[in-house]
Structure 1
Amino acid sequence: MTATAQPAAAEAPATIAYAQRTQTWEVVLTSGKVVKVPEALAVAPKDAVNSGERAPFLISGDGRHIFYYRKKDGLFVARTVHGKERVVAKITAYAIGEEWPIVSYDGSYVVTGTSGPGLGVLVDLRERKAMGPPEKTDAWDLPRFSPDSKRLLLGGEQSVVFDRALRSRLRLKTRLTPSALAEDYTTSAVLVGKAGKYRKVRLLNLRTGRAGAVVRVKLPRGQYIDDIDFDRSGRLAVRSKTATGVAVYQVSRKTGAVKPLKEIKRPDAAVWVLPDDSAYESWTERK
C-alpha cells in the first residue's frame, strides 16, 4: 500500500518504522503503509560543495518526525509524515558532506556538526530560534542529547552539559569521550576500544569525574557496538549491525549481559534509515 504524503490534520500522528531510498525517498510506517516523500533530495545538487554526495534523511527517535533537504530550494525541512514542512534555519544542501544534521529524540532540536571541526548551527524548533555554537571554542565533538531532549552533551577539551538555551549546567575536564547522556543529566557512557569494533563500555559521572569499571558487552560473535544510548528509565541500550539488519539490546551496566529487545531486517533498498540514526551509520548504505 503506497501513498504520497499530504497534510491531514485530523489523522493521528504516524509512527515510522524506517525510511528507505529506492527510486525516491519513502517512509515505512509500523502499520506497513508506505508513504512516498518525492520532494526529498537523494543527493547533493550540482552547485553544492560535494555534488552528488548522498543527502541525509533523518527520523526522530520517537518515530514521528522526518527531516530532509527539499528538492525545490535545497533547504533542510522538518515535518510529521502527513504534516506541513517547517524550514530548519541556516541549513542548506549546498553544504552536504561539509556539515551534517543531528536530531534530538523528540525531533524538537537540530544541531549540525561540521568538517571544521566543531558545530555549525543549533536550532530549537519549539522556540523557532537558531543559535551559534556555545562559548568560545570551535572544537566541540558531535553532540549527544539526553533521552528527554532537554540537555545537550558536548565534548572537547571538556565535557559540558548544556540546557536548551545553551546555558552550561555541568562541566568536567576529562580525557574520556562520552557517547551517551542519561536522563539524570550526570551519568554518561564511554565506549572503550578501537573505533568501529567497540565491545566494551564504562560509565562516567560528569559531576564527580568518577569512571566505573570497564565492562565487556556480551554481544553475539562478530557483532559490535555501533550505537549506544540510555532510555528514559536510565537503562543502557546498544544497536548492533547484523548480517540481515540491526539488533537492539538492553545491556546490564554491571555485567555486560544483553537482553535482545528487537531485530530489524534490512529492506532491499540502496539506503536505509532508522529512527534516531545519525546521517551516517554503518548500516545506512548497502555495501
Structure 2
Amino acid sequence: MRFRTALVTLLLTSVTLIAQPAGAATRATIAYAQLKQTWELVLTNGDVVEVPEALAKAPAGAVNSGARAPFLVSGDGRHFFYFRKSDERFVERTLSSKERVVSRDLTAYSINEEWPLVSDDGSFVITMTSAPGVGVFADLRKGKQLPSPGKTDAWGFSGFSPDGKRLLLQGERVVVFDRGLRARTRLKTRLSPVALANDYVTTAVPVGTYPKYRKLRLLNLRTGRASSTVTVQLPRGQYIDDLDFDRAGHVIVRSRTKTGVAIYRVSKVTGKATLMRRVARPVAAVWVLPGDSAYEPWTEKK
C-alpha cells in the first residue's frame, strides 16, 4: 500500500463520469473511493465523480453471487480499477482516459476467488487466488499478460516496491522479480516479509499474532540478516494494519482508529511513530483509499 494522497475537506459537488470527465477534474487526483448508491470517486479538489458503470456486487452466475466487487485506486491516486457492468471485465482507467481491459482472464465470475492488487503507479496488476498461488500478472505499461514465473503458480504475493519496478513473492524462497518476472534476488528464510523498499533488498516483517501486530523487523534479502525486533509506539488499542515503505525508504504504518485511519512514519531504530495524518471515515457503506487492497480493516462500516 502507498500513502501519498492528501485529503482536502471541501464542499462536494457531484459530477457523473460517462466517457470523459469535466476538465477541472483532471487536475486533481483521487482522495478516496466510496460506495453509496453507486461507486464514487472523491477528488482532492473536493469534486465527486460517479462511476455508474462499475459493478458493486458479483452478478448472478458468479461463483460468489452478491459478494462485494473490488474497486481499487492506485497509490498515486491517478488510476482506478473495477469490474464493469457491460461485459463484467476488470478494467483500468484514469480521470482523463478511456477504459482498458486488464486481462481477459479476469472477470466478475471470479469475484472473491481472485483478489486483484495494483502497483503504486497503476501500471502492474496481479491477482491472488483462493487456491494456492497467483493468478494474473498483467503489465499494463507493455499491454501484455505474463506467465507465472518459475513454471509454477505456487507463489504468495507480498508486495510491489514503491516505484513499481520490482515484485516480492514467496514460495520455497523469498524472491524479488523485475517487471519481466526475471528473478533478481533469492533468499531462503523462515521470515515472511510483507513490504519491499526501493533498494530492492530491504523488506519489512510484522512480528506478533495476526491481526494484533505491534512489532516489526527489517530483513535484508541480500545478506539474510534481520534487525532486532522493534516495537512500534502506536496509541493504545491501535495495531499495524498495513506495513510498507515510501519512496524515500521510510517505514510507513497505517492503523485503524475509531474514526478512520491514522498514517505514521516509523523509526527503524526506536519504533517511534510520527503521525503524518488522519483520514476520517466518510458516511458510506464502503470506502477505499489509494493503495488499498480489495479488503482492509477499515474498508467496511461496522
Q: Give me the TM-score of the superposition, normalised by structure 1.
A: 0.98
- Report the counterpart of residue 127 of structure 1 in structure 2: 142
**What is the CA distance between 1:143 and its match in structure 2?**
3.3
**What is the CA distance between 1:10 and its match in structure 2?**
6.0
Matches for 1:195-210 after TM superposition, within 5 Å: 195-210=210-225
- Report the counterpart of residue 238 of structure 2 in structure 1: 223
Can you list the C-alpha shifts for 1:233-273, whole angstroms capped at 9, x where unaligned?
11110000000000000000000001100100001111110
3-state DSSP of counterpart to 2:150 = coil
3-state DSSP of counterpart to 2:265 = strand
Can you list the C-alpha shifts for 1:91-123, whole angstroms capped at 9, x where unaligned?
110000100100000000000000111100100
Once the two structures are overlaid, the 10-residue window that deviates more, 7-16 or 146-155, is 7-16
Please state if 1:64 is matched with 2:78.
Answer: yes
Rounded to whole Å, the distance in 1 between the matches of 2:160 and 2:22 is 29
Matches for 1:48-197 after TM superposition, within 5 Å: 48-89=62-103, 90-197=105-212
**What is the CA distance between 1:157 and its match in structure 2?**
1.6
Q: Of the candidates 18, 37, 58, which is equivalent to residue 44 of structure 1?
A: 58
**What is the CA distance between 1:8 and its match in structure 2?**
5.2
Rounded to whole Å, the distance in 1 between the matches of 2:119 and 2:28 is 18
Question: Structure 1 runs of 4+ off > 6 angstroms?
Answer: none
Please state if 1:22 is matched with 2:28.
Answer: no
**What is the CA distance between 1:196 and its match in structure 2?**
0.9
**What is the CA distance between 1:83 and its match in structure 2?**
1.9
User: Mind listing any 5+ residue stretches in structure 2 that lack a counterpart?
Assistant: 1-12
Rounded to whole Å, the distance in 2 between the matches of 1:92 and 1:14 is 29
Number of equivalent positions: 287
The question of whether the paired residues in 1 share the 8 Å contact of 2:167 and 2:176 is answered with: yes
The one-letter amino acid of 2:56's match is A
User: Mind listing any 5+ residue stretches in structure 1 that lack a counterpart?
Assistant: none
The question of whether the paired residues in 2 share the 8 Å contact of 1:13 and 1:64 is answered with: no
Rounded to whole Å, the distance in 1 between the matches of 2:16 and 2:73 is 18
Once the two structures are overlaid, the 10-residue window that deviates more, 85-94 or 57-66, is 85-94
Q: Of the candidates 233, 237, 240, which is equivalent to residue 255 of structure 2?
A: 240
Rounded to whole Å, the distance in 2 between the matches of 1:73 and 1:237 is 38
Rounded to whole Å, the distance in 1 between the matches of 2:214 and 2:234 is 8
Please state if 1:266 is matched with 2:278.
Answer: no
Can you list the C-alpha shifts for 1:44-88, whole angstroms capped at 9, x where unaligned?
000101100000000000000000000111000000023210111
**What is the CA distance between 1:29 and its match in structure 2?**
0.4
The question of whether the paired residues in 1 share the 8 Å contact of 2:137 and 2:145 is answered with: yes
Rounded to whole Å, the distance in 2 between the matches of 1:83 and 1:36 is 15
Rounded to whole Å, the distance in 2 between the matches of 1:197 and 1:140 is 25
3-state DSSP of counterpart to 1:143 = strand
Once the two structures are overlaid, the 10-residue window that deviates more, 216-225 or 10-19, is 10-19
Rounded to whole Å, the distance in 2 between the matches of 1:129 and 1:277 is 24
Once the two structures are overlaid, the 10-residue window that deviates more, 244-253 or 136-145, is 136-145
Identity among equivalent positions (%) equals 64
